[in-house]
């Protein structure tokens, strides 16, 4: 393929603005209040934020995740873009493929590209099974800007580094060195987004760091693991500027959504100090922390800037399992961190998994029913002692892009259970036992959610889904 499907007649860079539609898959109006519509797609907004000042002759559009399929397709028909660029994760593959097919049926003269977690981890799947012509793998800012520049200049787009097409894999592009810029927040009406747990209504996500230094076996984070360094931090000043901007837009709660805020305690303290200097009245925060890197000083600072909720992947109450899945944190770290946060009045959203598996010395190892009981018991105790405020209980899914996916393939244990979804078939653990444990944790999660006022209208659908599992 050395053609460009963008072939508008008489188009020159000066005469006509290129129209580029970025799209999330359409989850439908009824998805409001679910995880998929908590935040606009930060990947897309970052690409537009980066490209807009560099490519002034391009009009960018964003088809947001809460649109219905009909609305999504209709908008593409109205806009008639030169480029249609969709972003999706693996669990949304089927919906995205359906969307791409429907958009293709419009028979518009446009280039169709895809990016994000799934096209990064499995571009061939996308290229072979959809009319997408180019997949952008990994970080998208520079690659997309170069691709669009080439389209504007009517040059071939087959050899752009960081892209894959059916004929050619152009390799991975080095990561951006400077990540001190903002997503295109000006395209967003925050009224359209809402998260299940927040103190304030006007809420936004913010990314202080890209990547994560760890490599837990079950985690699928392909975009940030293609190239080193695995972690890049923004400057504390730039983060504070973005917070100040969002405050000006009426945002009163920010979730620092990077995988781990406390990768580097010194830097993390500097960020908190810059935030403090802003003196933003009524602003609160949430963040993601790792349990192995928290001390008294940082806990105090987090509390000073009004971090009220911290999300932690505790995963399991068993050191054997934590070691096996490469968590690099022990049960003692988990407990110490929970106690430290309680001391400073910061609440915890604890994420727990059950029936994890890993490989050791060429053999398959997995969490046993007794170990799952330990985790359940630990969760109950932490909830009753107010060490944890909310829990999330999920069966381990060997998602593509994770080490566990390869392990599940090697030992042929990937499975699907109609009651609990994607999971694994583990030797010596019956399906019935697994379902039973899923139910027990779900009941705990639901009852606690109701008690804490979490089962509101916003996440009613999630509660209904959980109730369906419990009825099986
Ligand atoms: C914030 C977040 C969300 C937010 C916002 C979504 C978003 N994309 O920003 C919300 C809550 C909505 C969300 C929801 C979900 N998420 Co999420 N999310 C994240 C998280 C923590 C950060 C994303 C991030 O940093 N964005 C910042 C930008 C800079 O990075 P990026 O999104 O990867 O985008 C870059 C590139 O991927 C690329 N790119 C992205 N899209 C596109 C599109 C085009 C056309 C191009 C050219 C390039 C391109 O360029 C971008 C800029 O460099 C990641 C974990 C992680 N660290 O990546 C998980 C992650 C992406 N989510 C994941 C999942 C599974 C989900 C859900 C399915 C969860 C659920 N059960 O519902 C949903 C699906 C949402 C969807 N639209 O499909 C998985 C995906 C795994 C996989 N193999 O697919 C991840 C990797 C978490 C994990 N470790 O497993 N998520
Ligand atoms: S689970 Fe969290 S800590 Fe582990 S690799 Fe993924 S993002 Fe990093």
> Domains in the chain, start-ordered, CATH in brackets?
18-164 (3.40.50.280), 195-471 (3.20.20.70)
For strand 134-136 and strand 111-115, is the pairing parallel, antiparallel, or unpaired? parallel
Which protein residues are within 6 Å of ligand 2, measured from CB? 212, 214-216, 219, 221, 259-260, 313
Could you tell me the two tokens for 392?
Answer: 């999330």
Q: Give CA–CA dist 242/205, Å, rounded.
A: 11
Tokens 């985790």 identify what position?
375
The answer to whether the CB of 465 falls within 8 A of the CB of 400 is no
Q: Which atom of ligand 1 is nearest to the CA of 92?
A: 78
Could you tell me the two tokens for 149?
Answer: 């520049």
Q: Please tell me the distance between residue 347's alpha carbon and the centre of ligand 2 in angstroms.
A: 20
Could you tell me the two tokens for 73?
Answer: 């397709």
> Ligand 1, residues 140, 212, 403, 465: which to mutate, most atoms within 8 A of Cβ?
140
End-to-end alpha carbon distance in the chain: 51
Tokens 């727990």 identify what position?
352
Tens of each residue's pLDDT in the chain, 472 residues: 343 444 444 444 455 799 999 999 999 988 877 788 899 999 999 999 999 999 999 999 999 999 999 999 999 999 999 999 999 999 999 999 999 999 999 999 999 999 999 999 999 999 999 999 999 999 999 999 999 999 999 999 999 999 999 999 999 999 999 999 999 999 999 999 988 788 888 899 999 999 999 999 999 988 888 889 999 999 999 999 999 999 999 999 999 999 999 999 999 999 999 999 999 999 999 999 999 999 999 999 999 999 999 999 999 999 999 999 999 999 999 999 999 999 999 999 999 999 999 999 999 999 999 999 999 999 999 999 999 999 999 999 999 999 999 999 999 999 999 889 999 999 999 999 999 999 999 999 999 988 888 765 455 665 666 666 666 6
Could you tell me the two tokens for 380?
Answer: 């109950």
* pLDDT the model gives residue 452: 87
* pLDDT the model gives residue 118: 96
Q: Please tell me the distance between residue 50's alpha carbon and the centre of ligand 2 in angstroms.
A: 26
Q: Give CA–CA dist 175/226, Å, rounded.
A: 9
The answer to whether the CB of 23 falls within 8 A of the CB of 84 is yes
Q: Please name which ligand lies nearest the alpha carbon of 93.
A: 1
Q: How many CB atoms lie within 10 A of CB 31?
A: 16
* pLDDT the model gives residue 418: 85
Q: Which long-range contacts (CB under 8 A, 24 or more apart) does 269-273 make?
A: 269/297, 269/298, 269/301, 270/236, 271/208, 271/236, 271/239, 271/240, 272/298, 272/301, 272/302, 272/304, 272/305, 273/236, 273/301
Q: Please tell me the distance between residue 223's alpha carbon and the centre of ligand 1 in angstroms.
A: 9
Q: Which atom of ligand 1 is nearest to the CA of 210?
A: 25
- Which residue, judged by its Cα, is nearest atom 3 of ligand 2? 214
Q: Please tell me the distance between residue 216's alpha carbon and the centre of ligand 2 in angstroms.
A: 6
Q: Which atom of ligand 2 is nearest to the CA of 215?
A: 5
Q: Please tell me the distance between residue 421's alpha carbon and the centre of ligand 2 in angstroms.
A: 22
Which protein residues are within 6 Å of ligand 1, measured from CB? 22, 24, 35-36, 38-39, 41-44, 46-47, 65, 85-92, 113-118, 121, 136, 139-141, 144, 205, 207, 219-224, 257, 259, 399-401
* pLDDT the model gives residue 455: 64
* pLDDT the model gives residue 223: 84
Q: Please tell me the distance between residue 352's alpha carbon and the centre of ligand 2 in angstroms.
A: 13
The answer to whether the CB of 286 falls within 8 A of the CB of 311 is yes
Helical residues (DSSP H) of 154-235, grouped into ranges = none
Q: Please tell me the distance between residue 91's alpha carbon and the centre of ligand 1 in angstroms.
A: 11
Tokens 């909720």 identify what position?
309
* pLDDT the model gives residue 456: 58
Q: Please tell me the distance between residue 369's alpha carbon and the centre of ligand 1 in angstroms.
A: 32
* pLDDT the model gives residue 43: 98
């Amino acid at each position: 393929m050395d053609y460009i499907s963008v072939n508008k007649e008489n188009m020159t860079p000066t005469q006509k603005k290129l129209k580029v539609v970025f799209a999330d898959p359409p989850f439908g109006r009824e998805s409001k209040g679910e995880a998929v519509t908590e935040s606009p797609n930060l990947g897309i907004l970052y690409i537009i934020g980066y490209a807009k000042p560099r490519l002034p002759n391009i009009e960018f559009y964003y088809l947001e995740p809460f649109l219905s399929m009909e609305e999504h397709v209709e908008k593409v028909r109205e806009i008639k873009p030169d480029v249609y660029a969709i972003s999706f994760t693996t669990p949304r593959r089927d919906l995205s493929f359906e969307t791409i097919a429907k958009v293709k049926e419009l028979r518009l003269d446009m280039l169709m590209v895809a990016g994000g977690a799934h096209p990064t981890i499995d571009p061939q799947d996308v290229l072979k099974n959809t009319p997408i012509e180019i997949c952008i793998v990994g970080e998208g800012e520079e690659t997309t800007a170069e691709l669009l520049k080439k389209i504007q200049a009517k040059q071939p787009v087959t050899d752009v580094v960081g892209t894959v097409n059916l004929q050619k894999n152009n390799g991975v592009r080095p990561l951006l060195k400077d990540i001190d810029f903002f997503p295109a927040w000006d395209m967003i009406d925050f009224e359209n987004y809402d998260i299940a747990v927040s103190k304030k209504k006007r809420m936004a996500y913010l990314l202080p760091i890209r990547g994560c230094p760890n490599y837990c076996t079950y985690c699928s984070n392909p975009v940030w693991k293609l190239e080193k360094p695995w972690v890049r931090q923004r400057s504390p000043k730039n983060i504070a500027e973005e917070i100040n901007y969002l405050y000006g837009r009426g945002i009163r709660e920010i979730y620092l959504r990077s995988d781990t805020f406390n990768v580097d305690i010194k830097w993390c303290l500097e960020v908190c100090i810059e935030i403090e200097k802003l003196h933003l009245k009524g602003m609160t925060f949430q963040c993601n922390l790792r349990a192995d890197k928290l001390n008294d000083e940082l806990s105090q600072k987090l509390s000073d800037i009004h971090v009220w909720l911290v999300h932690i992947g505790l995963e399991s109450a068993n050191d054997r399992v934590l070691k096996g899945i490469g968590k690099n944190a022990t049960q003692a770290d988990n407990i110490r961190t929970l106690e430290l946060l309680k001391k400073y009045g910061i609440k915890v959203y604890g994420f727990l998994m059950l029936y994890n598996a890993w490989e050791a010395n060429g053999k398959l190892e997995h969490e046993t029913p007794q170990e799952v009981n330990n985790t359940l018991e630990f969760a109950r105790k932490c909830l009753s002692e107010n060490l944890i405020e909310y829990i999330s209980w999920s069966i381990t899914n060997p998602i593509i892009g994770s080490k566990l996916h390869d392990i599940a393939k090697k030992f042929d244990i990937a499975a699907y259970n109609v009651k609990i979804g994607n999971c694994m078939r583990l030797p010596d653990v019956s399906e019935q036992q697994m379902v039973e444990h899923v139910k027990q944790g779900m009941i705990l999660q639901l009852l606690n959610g109701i008690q804490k006022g979490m089962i509101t209208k916003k996440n009613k659908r999630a509660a209904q889904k959980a109730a369906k599992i419990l009825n099986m």
